[in-house]
Amino acid sequence: MSDLTRLTAFEIASAVASGEASAVEVAQAHLDRIAAVDDMVHAFLHVDSAGALAAAARVDAARAAGEALGPLAGVPLALKDVFTMSGVPTTCGSKILEGWRPPYDATVTRRLKEAGVVILGKTNMDEFAMGSSTENSAYGPTRNPWDLDRVPGGSGGGSSAAVASFMAPLGIGTDTGGSIRQPAAVTGTVGAKPTYGGVSRYGLIAFSSSLDQGGPCARTVLDAALLHEVIAGHDVMDSTSISAPVPPVVAAARAADVSGMRIGVVREFSGEGYQPGVETRFREAVAVLESLGASVSEVSCPHFTYALPAYYLIAPSECSSNLARFDGMRFGLRVGDDGTRDAEQVMSLTRDAGFGDEVKRRIILGTFALSSGYYDAYYGQAQKVRTLITRDFERAFESVDVLVSMTTPTTAFRIGERADDPMAMYLADLCTIPSNLSGGAAMSVPCGLSPDDGLPVGLQIMAPALADDRMYRVAAAYEAASGGPLTREVPAL
């Protein structure tokens, strides 16, 4: 493995800015790493070698011309295949968009390009971000670099696996019910869900519009914070974008100090169903934070136990509306258009062939929840529960600065182990969903390896809306005190 692929994003940017390494050298080293290991991991759906090298050459030219470089200029990145990128295949892990090359960049993609970030390609994901294992991709599963027989989490397993296996120092994911944080936890990486509206959703192909949020994936807390600041900020193209200033997440990550902070441990996230080794590492992490000067107390959020059923009514309801646009009429796959069928028949055949089982399951569930006679009983009630969960957060943050929990109840499970049991699969997001329902900020940082199986465990840190800097401050302090990130080469590779 090239030494350049072992560097953090901050170290790469510093090397490029000083002339110690060229951006082209860095990009080529990572492309070589992808060529060497991605046949085993399958993190990427499309590698844009020519585009990456051209972007890197532009960074080198800007430096040679004496232009000031951004804080991540020349740093390679893996982009989840749910963000549009002009002229580059964007599939959302679905056959229904196979071969589609969008004519425009998502705002996140544009901001990355403007910052001089080198986009290596598009990463694998559960189809339309619906899943917790990246097994639901129409293009085959991604594998966990720590154990190739296990899942890398989902839906953004491709981005996290790319970062964990040193194919990219940075990744972009989206988090609808935990799809950044859960993969981060089980791959030993850092993943952050910014405050809802903190990162533009323009060009992010929607699953659930009131829940989806793009965010950073990295191997260190500082790298995640640097990427967060690059992609965040108000966007007039997104009606849900927040116009408030971006929280000072980089300064918080560099401060790495929890002395005097009040940390609440969520009472409801423990006990039956939680892997003993995961609980052990979590309790140890809390003890570390307390030793650093934070005050720790247990906090009850009683309605968190209803988050999972509420989410699986709200998210499918929104997806049944959002995915109606994929009809075979305007773009993407079209099946049965041989002149003998009307438009309705072509739509039906296209959707049957183009959507996978999990997507169909959620569309059916959501359509039923929104149907006449059932709307108030299902979707309406779920939204009331969402309000109660938001109030639980509000009450908790009156007495503590952040909440902490395990990110996932277990370490990575084996590929295929939960494929025939949707409920078992859904439970992987048990701890992450409440922050999506409330819109607050949350992130996962590695907290060691489980004594049960030697696989990574994640510590989840939850903060109020627009207080994203608090979670970075806690995460960075823990990372420093625990000996740094899990940067040793992953065993499976």
Q: Please give the positions annotated as active site.
A: 80, 155, 179
DSSP state of 411: S
**Angstrom distance (rounded) from CA 355 to CA 366:** 15
DSSP state of 324: G
Q: Output the furthest CA–CA distance in the chain (Å, rounded).
A: 73
**Angstrom distance (rounded) from CA 313 to CA 382:** 6
What is the CB neighbour count within 10 angstroms for residue 89? 17
Closest by CA to 438, choosing from 394, 471, 395, is 394
**Angstrom distance (rounded) from CA 19 to CA 74:** 11
**Angstrom distance (rounded) from CA 107 to CA 313:** 29
The token duo for 294 is 């934070």
Q: What Å distances lie between residue 21 and 13, 26, 59, 196, 257, CA to CA?
A: 9, 7, 12, 37, 32
For residues 119 and 85, is the Cβ–Cβ distance under 8 A? yes
The token duo for 477 is 């302090």
The helix, strand and coil proportions of the chain, stated in percent and rounded to the nearest 5, come to 45, 15, 45
DSSP state of 127: G
**Angstrom distance (rounded) from CA 25 to CA 20:** 10
Partner residues linked to 458 by β-bridges? 446
Q: What Å distances lie between residue 160 and 77, 133, 321, 322, 358, CA to CA?
A: 11, 11, 29, 26, 21
**Angstrom distance (rounded) from CA 468 to CA 476:** 13
- Strand intervals (E) in 350-437: 402-406
